[in-house]
Amino acid sequence: MKKILVCEDEDAIRDFVVINLKRADYEVVDVNSGEKALAEFKKAQNSADESVRPFDVALLDIMMPGIDGTEVCKQIREESNSIGIIMLSAKSQEMDKITCLTIGADDYVTKPFSPSELVARVDAIYRRVSLNASSGANGKELTSGPFSVNTKSRVIMKDGEIVDLTQVEYQIMEYFIKNSGVALDRKSILVHIWGEGYFGDDKIVDVNIRRLRMKVENDPSSPVYIQTVWGYGYKWTTDN
Mean pLDDT, range 116-138, rounded to an integer: 76
What pLDDT score was predicted for residue 69?
93
22 and 85 together in one domain? yes
Of 133, 152, 172, which one is at a domain's C-terminal end? 133
Domain assignment of residue 72, given as a range: 2-133
104 and 17 together in one domain? yes
- Please indicate whether residue 180 or residue 135 has the higher confidence score (pLDDT): 180
Q: How many domains does the chain have?
A: 2
121 and 18 together in one domain? yes
Q: Does residue 45 surpass a pLDDT of 80?
A: yes
What pLDDT score was predicted for residue 67?
95
124 and 8 together in one domain? yes
120 and 14 together in one domain? yes
> Which among 134, 133, 161, 164 has a CA at the least distance from the CA of 148?
161
Of 83, 105, 133, which one is at a domain's C-terminal end? 133
pLDDT digits (tens, 9 = 90+) for 192-231: 888 776 766 678 899 899 999 999 999 999 999 999 999 8
34 and 118 together in one domain? yes
Q: Does residue 168 surpass a pLDDT of 90?
A: no
Torsion angle, alpha carbons of 73, 78, 80, 82, to 10: 70
Let me know: does 198 contact 122? Beta carbons within 8 Å. Answer: no
Q: What is the CATH number of the domain that holds 26?
A: 3.40.50.2300
Q: What is the CATH number of the domain that holds 189?
A: 1.10.10.10
56 and 105 together in one domain? yes
Mean pLDDT, range 61-76, rounded to an integer: 93
- Please indicate whether residue 195 or residue 187 has the higher confidence score (pLDDT): 187
210 and 121 together in one domain? no
Residue 137 pLDDT class (50, 70, 90 cuts): very low
Q: Does residue 136 surpass a pLDDT of 50?
A: no
Average pLDDT over the chain reads 88
92 and 194 together in one domain? no
Residue 28 pLDDT class (50, 70, 90 cuts): very high
104 and 203 together in one domain? no
90 and 171 together in one domain? no
Radius of gyration in angstroms for the set of CA atoms belonging to the chain, rounded to a whole number: 18
Residue 181 pLDDT class (50, 70, 90 cuts): very high
